[in-house]
C-alpha cells in the first residue's frame, strides 16, 4: 500500500511529539529528566514506557505498555503503536494543559511503528505532529549493541537526532570512529555528543524532522555533508612533481584541495578542514587527466574521463614539507594513489575521514543521490510506487527535494517505510534545479537506486 | 407511530436547551428515570444536569484526573465511574460518598458497563476486565490479547464481550474464563451486541466494520469507510446496524437475510465525519453527531434525511438517549469538545 498524504496546513495547531529511543542505559531517563526540569517555558506531557522511571514529580506522566498492532494485510507500513493511539486520543482532551509530548520507548523498541502511528491514524494525525526521533547511544557500548542487536541499527536509522552520550568514557579517536559509523548508517541525522545527556534542548525538542517546510528552511540542501570533502591525508612531500592517480569510482569528478600544514595532529587537520570548507564555495577550476593541481589551498575538480584509467594528475611541490590532501570522496572508492616522481607510492603519515564509514558490515546504511536534470512526474511516481511496494519493508526513512519537468516548484517529500508525505513547495527561481534524495534502510543498493531514479529523468 | 410523528414534529419546533461544563466531556449518560443527565469530563468531575432547566444540579468530584467512563445502573440511581487514577467507584443517590469498587492504581480504569438487569458491572483495566456482582463478588477475566478497547454484556448478561486488537473475546462473567475467541487480525475499537445477542459487531481501526454470528462463528466485514467507524449501534429491534466512519451514516440491514451482498441505507445530513451515534430505546430513532458540530435526529430507514438538525460549536464527542417513564418522554443529549451539551426531548 502506498499512501500519499496531504498534510494539514495548520502545523502550528498540532501538538509536537518527540520520540526518545535508545538502549537501556544510554541515558533516556537522564535526558527526560533534564527536559522536564530545565526552564524552557514549555509544559510537557510524558508518555513513558512500562519500565520508565522519571525521577521527578511531574503532573502529566502517563505509563503505557507498548502494544504493536499489525493491521490485517500484515504489511509493515500498517504496524502501529496501538497504545499511543489510545493515550494520545485521551491526551487531546487536555490539550490546553501542555505544549508538547515526549514519548519514551523501551530500549529494544523499533521506532518504525511509533513513526507510522503519526502517518496512519487519522485522529492522531489531526491533532499531533511527530517533531522528531531522538536516539541516545552510549559511546562505550554502541559497537557492542550494533554488533548484536538489529534494534540498535533501526533506532539509529530512524533518528533525526543522535545523541552520543557518555563521551567522557571514550577517547577522541574512538569518538571519531563512532561518529563515522553512525554517519554510515544514517547520513541525515544531526549528531550531538555529550556527557550525562548534556546537549542543548533546542536541538532535541524542536527538530522538525518530519516537517516538509523545515526540510527546506533549515537545511536547504540536507544532503550536503557537514564537510564538502570526505577525507584528508597528511603527507611528507619532497620538492618535485608528484603524481596523483585515480581509477573509475562512483562519480565522474572528484574535488581535491592541497595545502601545507604544520603537522598531522588532529587539531591541525581540523583547523585546515575549517579553512578548506570556506574555500570550497569558490568557483572550482576543472582539470583534465594529465593536468596540474597546484598547492594553493583552493579546490580543483578532477575530470575523470577520457583516455585509459587510471588517470594521472601532476602535483608540483616547490618546498619540502607536510601537506594535507583533502578529497571530496573517500580515496579507496577511486583507488587514489599519491606517488613520487619516480612512481614510488606514498603513505599518509596521518589521515581522517569526515563521513560515513562503510568498513563495518552494517546492513543498514544511507544512500544520498543528486540529479541535475528534472524528473518526469509520471515515471517517477510509477518507479517510486514500485520501489516502496517491493522494498518498503527495508526502507526506513527517505527524504527528497525534486525538480519536476514542467513545474517551477520544488516537490518535497518524506516518508517512513511505504508511507509517503509530499507536496509541491517553493519555486526554484534562479537556483539550480538540483534534485536530492536520501534513503536510509537495509540492504540498500546505491547503484540500483541511482539507475532506477536516473531512468525517471525527463 | 402517529404519536411519535407528532412528537417528532414538535421536536422540530421546541428548540433543545444548552448546558455547559468547564471541561472536555469524556462520557455522557442518562439516569434510568431520565431525570438526570450525567456528563463526565477530563477535570475529574461528573456534572449532573437537570434536563428541564439545563443547569448543573450537582457536581461529583469523582476522580483525581480525567474521568474515563460512566455507566448508570439500569434501574437504580447508582452511577459507576472510572478514571485515569485507576479507580472505579459507585455513586448512589445523593451521590456524596462513593463505594470504592476498585482502588486507584497506575493503570487507567477505562470502559465500564452494566448487564441489562444491573446484576453485574464490568470495568476494563488494561487487558483485563473486572466483573463485579451485586453479591459483592469480583471476577477478573483472563487477559485479552491487548488493552481493552470496548466491552459489553450480551443482552442475557451471561457473557461479557471484550473488543481489542485481534478480535473479540467472550468471557464467562462469573469466573472470568474465556469462553470464545472471535479472531480477526486487526484492531477493534468498539463493540455492540445485537438485541437478541446472536451477533456482535465492532468498528475497526482499519476503516471497516467487522461482525460475527456467534453461534456459527461466521464473520464478515464491511469496508470502504473513509475513516474509523468508531460508532456502531444496533436498533432496538436488531434490524439495523448504524455505523459512523463517514459523513453519511450507513445502516446495514440485520434482518434474517443479513447484510451480506446488500447495500446499506445511507443517511445524509452531516457535513463532516460522524463522531457519535446512538439508537433510541424502544423506537426506531437514531441520534448522531459529527465533527462539524451538527447533531441530527433521524427516523430511519424510511426517512434518510434528518428530522431535526441542530448545531453545537465544536466537534460532537458523545450522544445519548434517555427515557423518562414518568413523563412519557424520550430524552436525548449531545456534547461537544468545548463542553457544551445540547439537551432535547420527544
Q: For the segment A311-352, what is each residue's pLDDT rounded down to a tens digit? A: 999 999 999 999 999 998 889 889 999 999 898 999 999 888
Mean pLDDT of chain B: 94
Is any Cβ of chain B less than 8 angstroms from the Cβ of A3? no
- Which of 72-101 (A) contact B at CB < 8 A? 72, 74, 78, 82-83, 85-86, 90, 93-94
Angle between helices A150-158 and A111-120 (to 10 degrees): 40
Contact state of A82 with B165 under an 8 Å Cβ cutoff: yes
Least confident among A216-220, A293-297, A412-416, B186-190: A216-220
pLDDT on residue A277: 67
pLDDT on residue A56: 67
Contact state of A72 with B106 under an 8 Å Cβ cutoff: no
Q: Which residue has the cell 480477526?
A: B184
Q: How confident is the model at residue A6 (pLDDT cuts 50, 70, 90)?
A: very low
Domains of chain A: which residue ranges?
3-216, 231-353, 364-454
Minimal CA separation from A33 to chain B, in Å: 20
Q: How confident is the model at residue B285 (pLDDT cuts 50, 70, 90)?
A: very high
Residue of chain A minimizing CA distance to B69:
A90
pLDDT on residue A280: 60
Please state the rounded mean pLDDT for residues A427-449. 89
Mean pLDDT of chain A: 85
Residue of chain A minimizing CA distance to B230:
A123
Determine if residue B112 is left, alpha or beta; phi over 0 gives left, psi from -120 to 50 gives alpha, anything else beta. beta
- How many Å separate Cα A115 from the centre of its chain? 17
Please state the rounded mean pLDDT for residues A185-196. 86
Contact state of A78 with B206 under an 8 Å Cβ cutoff: yes
What is the DSSP code (8-state) at residue B16?
P
Pick the CATH number of A364-454 from 3.30.1220.10, 3.30.1510.10, 3.40.640.10, 1.10.540.10: 3.30.1220.10
What is the 3-class SS of B247-277, one letter each residue?
CCEEEEECCCCCCCCCCCEEECCCCCCEEEE
Determine if residue B245 is left, alpha or beta; phi over 0 gives left, psi from -120 to 50 gives alpha, anything else beta. left
Q: Which residue has the cell 441530527?
A: B296
Q: How many CB atoms lie within 10 A of CB A264?
A: 19
Nearest to B26 by CA among B75, B93, B71, B87: B71
Least confident among A42-56, A64-78, A281-295, B326-340: A64-78
- How many Å separate Cα B166 from the centre of its chain? 22
Is the CB of residue B60 less than 8 Å from the CB of residue B48? yes
The half-sphere exposure of B158 on its side-chain side, counting CA atoms within 13 A, is 6
Q: Which of B21, B24, B229, B276 to probe by mutation at the A interface, max A CB count within 10 Å? A: B24
Nearest to B314 by CA among B288, B332, B289: B289
pLDDT on residue A234: 92
Is the CB of residue B90 less than 8 Å from the CB of residue B114? no
What is the DSSP code (8-state) at residue A74?
-
Is the CB of residue B89 less than 8 Å from the CB of residue B101? yes
Please state the rounded mean pLDDT for residues A401-424. 91
Contact state of A71 with B26 under an 8 Å Cβ cutoff: no
Provide, for chain A, the percentages of residues in helix, strand and coil under a 3-state DSSP scheme, each rounded to the nearest 5: 30, 30, 40
**To the nearest whole percent, how much of chain A has pLDDT over 90?**
40
Is the torsion defined by CA of A111, A114, A118, A122 positive or negative? Answer: positive
pLDDT on residue A222: 44
pLDDT on residue A57: 66
Residue A9 pLDDT more than 70?
no
In this complex, how many residue pairs, one in chain A and one in chain B, have their CB atoms less than 8 Å apart?
48
Q: How confident is the model at residue A216 (pLDDT cuts 50, 70, 90)?
A: low
CA distance A261 to B175: 82
Q: How many residues are present in chain A?
A: 458
Q: How many residues are present in chain B?
A: 346
CA distance A17 to A73: 28
Where does residue A372 rank: exposed (0-12), middle (13-18), buried (19+ CB within 10 A)? exposed
Is any Cβ of chain B less than 8 angstroms from the Cβ of A13? no
CA distance A437 to A395: 13
Q: Which residues of B touch A90 (CB under 8 A)?
A: 66, 68, 84
pLDDT on residue A217: 53
- DSSP-assigned letters across all residues of A156-167: HHH-SEEEEE-G
Is any Cβ of chain A less than 8 angstroms from the Cβ of B63? no
Is any Cβ of chain A less than 8 angstroms from the Cβ of B178? no
pLDDT on residue A224: 44
**Fold adopted by A3-216:** Rossmann fold (3.40.50)
Is any Cβ of chain A less than 8 angstroms from the Cβ of B26? yes
Contact state of B147 with A86 under an 8 Å Cβ cutoff: yes
Residue of chain B minimizing CA distance to A121:
B205
CA distance A116 to B301: 39
Contact state of B146 with A69 under an 8 Å Cβ cutoff: yes
Pull the grid cell for residue B125.
483495566
pLDDT on residue B103: 97
pLDDT tens digit sequence for A274-295: 777 666 656 788 999 999 998 8
Angle between helices A150-158 and A172-185 (to 10 degrees): 80
Cross-strand pairs, B276: B289
Residue A18 pLDDT more than 90?
yes
User: Could you tell me which residue, A132 or A206, shows the higher pLDDT?
Assistant: A132
Give φ, ψ of B174 to 5 degrees. Answer: -75, -35
pLDDT on residue A363: 84
Minimal CA separation from B184 to chain A, in Å: 8
Minimal CA separation from A13 to chain B, in Å: 16
Model-level pTM?
Answer: 0.80
User: Could you tell me which residue, A216 or B159, shows the higher pLDDT?
Assistant: B159
Q: Where are the beta strands (DSSP E) in A9-60?
A: 15-22, 44-49
pLDDT on residue A25: 85
Residue B220 pLDDT more than 60?
yes
Minimal CA separation from B165 to chain A, in Å: 7
What is the DSSP code (8-state) at residue B82?
E
Contact state of B187 with A63 under an 8 Å Cβ cutoff: no
pLDDT on residue A359: 44
Least confident among A49-63, A101-115, A141-155, B251-265: A49-63
pLDDT tens digit sequence for B175-200: 999 999 999 988 999 999 999 889 99
Q: Where are the beta strands (DSSP E) in A144-252?
A: 161-165, 190-193, 231-237, 241-246
Residue A264 pLDDT more than 70?
yes
Amino acid at each position: 500500500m502506498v499512501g500519499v498524504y496531504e498534510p494539514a496546513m495548520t502545523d502550528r495547531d498540532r501538538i509536537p511529539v518527540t520520540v526518545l529511543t535508545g538502549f537501556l542505559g544510554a541515558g533516556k531517563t537522564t535526558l527526560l529528566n533534564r527536559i522536564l526540569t530545565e526552564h524552557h517555558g514549555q509544559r510537557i506531557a510524558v508518555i513513558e514506557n512500562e519500565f520508565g522511571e522519571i525521577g521527578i514529580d511531574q503532573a502529566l506522566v502517563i505509563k503505557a505498555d507498548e502494544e504493536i498492532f499489525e493491521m490485517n494485510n500484515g504489511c509493515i507500513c500498517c504496524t502501529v503503536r496501538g497504545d499511543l493511539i489510545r493515550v494520545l486520543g485521551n491526551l487531546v482532551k487536555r490539550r490546553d494543559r501542555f505544549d508538547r509530548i515526549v514519548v519514551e520507548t523501551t530500549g529494544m523498541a523499533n521506532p518504525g511503528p511509533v513513526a507510522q502511528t503519526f502517518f496512519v491514524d487519522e485522529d492522531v494525525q489531526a491533532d499531533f505532529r511527530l517533531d522528531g526521533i531522538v536516539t541516545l547511544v552510549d559511546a562505550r557500548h554502541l559497537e557492542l549493541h550494533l554488533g548484536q542487536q538489529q534494534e540498535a541499527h533501526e533506532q539509529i536509522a530512524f533518528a533525526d537526532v543522535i545523541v552520543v552520550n557518555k563521551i567522557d568514557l571514550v577517547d577522541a579517536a574512538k569518538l571519531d570512529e563512532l561518529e563515522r559509523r553512525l554517519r554510515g548508517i544514517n547520513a541525515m541525522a544531526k549528531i550531538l555528543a555529550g556527557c550525562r545527556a548534556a546537549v542543548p534542548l533546542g536541538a532535541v525538542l524542536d527538530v522538525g524532522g518530519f516537517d516538509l517546510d523545515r526540510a527546506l528552511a533549515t537545511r536547504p540542501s540536507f544532503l550536503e555533508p557537514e564537510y564538502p570533502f570526505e577525507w584528508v591525508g597528511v603527507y611528507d612531500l619532497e620538492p618535485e612533481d608528484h603524481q596523483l592517480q585515480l581509477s573509475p569510482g562512483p562519480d565522474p569528478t572528484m574535488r581535491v584541495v592541497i595545502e601545507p600544514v604544520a603537522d598531522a595532529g588532529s587539531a591541525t587537520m581540523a583547523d585546515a578542514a575549517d579553512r578548506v570548507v570556506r574555500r570550497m564555495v569558490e568557483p572550482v577550476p576543472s582539470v583534465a587527466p594529465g593536468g596540474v593541481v597546484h598547492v594553493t589551498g583552493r579546490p580543483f575538480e578532477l575530470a575523470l574521463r577520457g583516455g585509459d584509467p587510471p588517470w594521472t594528475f601532476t602535483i608540483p611541490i616547490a618546498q619540502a614539507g607536510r601537506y594535507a590532501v583533502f578529497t571530496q570522496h573517500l580515496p579507496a572508492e577511486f583507488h587514489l594513489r599519491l606517488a613520487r616522481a619516480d612512481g614510488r607510492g606514498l603513505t599518509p603519515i596521518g589521515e581522517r575521514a569526515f563521513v560515513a564509514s562503510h568498513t563495518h558490515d552494517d546492513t543498514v546504511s544511507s544512500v544520498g543521490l543528486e540529479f541535475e536534470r528534472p524528473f518526469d512526474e509520471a515515471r517517477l511516481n510509477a518507479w517510486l510506487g514500485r520501489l516502496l511496494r517491493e522494498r518498503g519493508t527495508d526502507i526506513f526513512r527517505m527524504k527528497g527535494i525534486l525538480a519536476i519537468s514542467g513545474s517551477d516548484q520544488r516537490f518535497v517529500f518524506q516518508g517512513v517505510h511505504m508511507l509517503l508525505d509530499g507536496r509541491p513547495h517553493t519555486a526554484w527561481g534562479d537556483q539550480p534545479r538540483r534534485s536530492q534524495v536520501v534513503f536510509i534502510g537495509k540492504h540498500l543498493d546505491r547503484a540500483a537506486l541511482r539507475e532506477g531514479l536516473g531512468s525517471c529523468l525527463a | 407511530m402517529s404519536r411519535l410523528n407528532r412528537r417528532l414534529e414538535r421536536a422540530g419546533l421546541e428548540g433543545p436547551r444548552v448546558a455547559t461544563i468547564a471541561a472536555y466531556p469524556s462520557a455522557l449518560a442518562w439516569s434510568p428515570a431520565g431525570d438526570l443527565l450525567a456528563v463526565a469530563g477530563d477535570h475529574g468531575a461528573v456534572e449532573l444536569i437537570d434536563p428541564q432547566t439545563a443547569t448543573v444540579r450537582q457536581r461529583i468530584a469523582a476522580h483525581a484526573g480525567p474521568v474515563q467512563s460512566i455507566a448508570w445502573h439500569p434501574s437504580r440511581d447508582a452511577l459507576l465511574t472510572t478514571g485515569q487514577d485507576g479507580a472505579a467507584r459507585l455513586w448512589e443517590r445523593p451521590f456524596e460518598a462513593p463505594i470504592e469498587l476498585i482502588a486507584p492504581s497506575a493503570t487507567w480504569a477505562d470502559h465500564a458497563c452494566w448487564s441489562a438487569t444491573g446484576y453485574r458491572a464490568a470495568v476494563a483495566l488494561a487487558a483485563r476486565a473486572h466483573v463485579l456482582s451485586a453479591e459483592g463478588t469480583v471476577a477478573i477475566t483472563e487477559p485479552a490479547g491487548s488493552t481493552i478497547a470496548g466491552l459489553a454484556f450480551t443482552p442475557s448478561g451471561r457473557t461479557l464481550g471484550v473488543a481489542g486488537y485481534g478480535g473479540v473475546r467472550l468471557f464467562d462473567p462469573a469466573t472470568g474464563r474465556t469462553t470464545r475467541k472471535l479472531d480477526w487480525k486487526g484492531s477493534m475499537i468498539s463493540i455492540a451486541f445485537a438485541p437478541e445477542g446472536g451477533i456482535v459487531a465492532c468498528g475497526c481501526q482499519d476503516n471497516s466494520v467487522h461482525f460475527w454470528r456467534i453461534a456459527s462463528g461466521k464473520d464478515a466485514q464491511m469496508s470502504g469507510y473513509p475513516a474509523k467507524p468508531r460508532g456502531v449501534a444496533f436498533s432496538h429491534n436488531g434490524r439495523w446496524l448504524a455505523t459512523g466512519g463517514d459523513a453519511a451514516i450507513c445502516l446495514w440491514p440485520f434482518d434474517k437475510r443479513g447484510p451480506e451482498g446488500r447495500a446499506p441505507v445511507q443517511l445524509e445530513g452531516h457535513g463532516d465525519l460522524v463522531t457519535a451515534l446512538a439508537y433510541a430505546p424502544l423506537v426506531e430513532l437514531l441520534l448522531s453527531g459529527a465533527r462539524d458540530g451538527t447533531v441530527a435526529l433521524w427516523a430511519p430507514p424510511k426517512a434518510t434525511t434528518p428530522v431535526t438538525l441542530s448545531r453545537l460549536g465544536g466537534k460532537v464527542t458523545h450522544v445519548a438517549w434517555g427515557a423518562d417513564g414518568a413523563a412519557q418522554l424520550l430524552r436525548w443529549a449531545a456534547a461537544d469538545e468545548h463542553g457544551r451539551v445540547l439537551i432535547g426531548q420527544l
